[in-house]
Amino acid sequence: MSLKKTKTEFDKILVSGITADAVIDLCGCVSSLDSSLVVLPGFCDVHVHFREPGFSYKETILSGSRSAARGGYTSVCTMPNLKPVPDSKENLKLQLDIIKRDAVIDVFPYAAITKGQFGIDLADLEELTDAVAFSDDGRGVQDEQMMREAMLKAKSLGKMIVAHCEVNELLKGGYIHDGEYAKANGHDGICSESEYKMIERDIRLAKETGCPYHVCHISAKESVELIRQAKKEGVDITCETAPHYLVLSDKDLKEDGRFKMNPPLRDESDRLALIEGIKDGTIDMIATDHAPHSAEEKSKGLKLSAFGIVGLETAFPVIYTHLVKTGIITLERAVQLLCDNPRKRFDLPQKNSFSVWDLNQSFKVDPDEFLTKGRATPFTDDILFGKNLVTVFNGKTVYKT
């Protein structure tokens, strides 16, 4: 699963089965002759926002995929919060054409569950089978019958439903969709119950319909327990959480838009429950929910800034520093969460892709050095371990330090 070597042995790397163009010269890339290097398979993130078409000032397929490559990712799945929403064959093709033209790694788009992501009319899912799965991410499907119909149709098409779980009626102080501003108390008004109550409903529907079901960015201890029990009952369910929920809690909040995301950072007891979830297999994978915004949109504090932070370029260093180096999980388990499990669940190819990391090299997180257009991260100025030296995708170098 991983291969450690010294710097001397890694001056040149040739991966069996890849053409000579994949020979990587690492001279000068490492901090010292005795650095411990590790080769890891290309990571896979099933939850990112690349914002194109419609919001290119926040991110593009090109900038997002370059950012992913820097973070060691060679496959990502892009959410449908776009303009136009990929709720028809024509709209999905707009995105697919940009991906074909600009992406430096594999980019697999989601299609919307409902037309315009409004939760009123089911999208013509039969036209959207080129998508990796169906999701209305950013909005929970509020109507139970609508979700039931979506699950039945998705199952008949051999597709998965991927859900942002949030009950609008349980939110306090108002809420506006991703890309716009929250009303008063929009951040701290997103209670845990709004998440786990919808998960509870959808588990029942998944059991009823037999549809494969995946839960986005779980953040609450109740969510972990519901999914743990559902798996014991044989429900076809998987879930993800994000690095920031595993490392931070509400005690780390600052009055700064870079700490505003949805779901929000929760109690320390929730964080510890998530840790147990990744250790015992209840949580299947780690996804970043990479959600870039402009500097202006993130400059209005916790109350009025847009929801979302960036995460592709810091995900592995955060996980390695806070979970692997501390002995909470092994490096092999981290690779399962970041690569093996998401690829298996979403049936995504590896394509002779890997990254080379210097695990001994530390760095200070400086958003001005990011390749993404977004700069908002709660890890600004943190000291992290693990520097990516090179990422190879399908036999081609797509990032080199």
62 belongs to a structural domain = yes
332: domain CATH number? 3.20.20.140
pLDDT at 172: 78
Q: Name residue 7's amino acid.
A: K
Helices marked H in 210-330:
221-232, 243-247, 268-280, 301-304, 315-319
Tell me which residues are annotated as active site.
Answer: 289
Question: Distances from the Cα of 311 to the Cαs of 136, 231, 241, 247, in angstroms?
Answer: 21, 28, 12, 13
Give the separation between CA 13 and CA 24, rounded to whole angstroms.
Answer: 5
pLDDT at 25: 55
Nearest by Cα to 55 from 105, 107, 98: 98
Task: Please write down the HEC assignment for all residues of 20-49.
Answer: HHHCEECCCCCCCCCCCEEEEECEEEEEEC
Judged by phi (left if over 0) then psi (alpha if -120 to 50, else beta), residue 48 lies in: beta
pLDDT at 56: 98
Q: Name residue 134's amino acid.
A: F
184 belongs to a structural domain = yes
pTM for the structure as a whole: 0.91
Collapsing DSSP states into helix, strand and coil, what is residue 238? strand
80 touches 118 (CB < 8 A): no
Give the separation between CA 214 and CA 145, rounded to whole angstroms.
Answer: 18
* Cα–chain center distance at 398: 20
Could you read off the pLDDT of 285-340 as tens digits, one per residue?
A: 999 999 999 999 999 999 999 999 999 999 999 999 999 999 999 999 999 999 99
Using the structure block, give the residue that is written with the tokens 């979403």.
346
pLDDT at 187: 63
7 belongs to a structural domain = no
Q: Name residue 162's amino acid.
A: V
5 belongs to a structural domain = no
32 belongs to a structural domain = no
Helices marked H in 61-130:
61-70, 89-102
Give, for all 401 residues of the chain, the pLDDT tens digit.
445 554 444 444 433 333 334 455 554 554 443 457 999 999 999 999 999 999 999 999 999 999 999 999 999 999 999 999 999 999 999 999 999 999 999 999 999 999 999 999 999 999 999 999 999 999 999 999 999 999 999 999 999 999 999 999 998 754 444 434 333 345 677 999 999 999 999 999 999 999 999 999 999 999 999 999 999 999 999 999 999 999 999 999 999 999 999 999 999 999 999 999 999 999 999 999 999 999 999 999 999 999 999 999 999 999 999 999 999 999 999 999 999 999 999 999 999 999 999 999 999 999 999 999 999 999 999 999 999 999 999 999 999 99
36 belongs to a structural domain = no
DSSP letter at 122 equals B
CB-based contacts of 291-294 (< 8 A; 24+ apart in sequence): 291/48, 291/49, 291/178, 291/261, 291/374, 292/49, 292/51, 292/58, 292/59, 292/64, 292/372, 292/373, 292/374, 292/376, 293/58, 293/179, 293/374, 293/376, 294/57, 294/58, 294/373
Range of the domain at 287: 41-400
342 belongs to a structural domain = yes
What is the number of structural domains in the chain?
1
Nearest by Cα to 191 from 215, 166, 217, 214: 166
2 belongs to a structural domain = no
Mean of pLDDT over the chain: 91
How big is the CA angle at 95 (ends 91 and 101), to the nearest 5 degrees? 145
For helices 192-209 and 144-156, the axis angle rounded to 10 degrees is: 50
Strand ranges across the sheet with 161-163 = 134-135, 161-163, 213-215, 237-241, 285-286
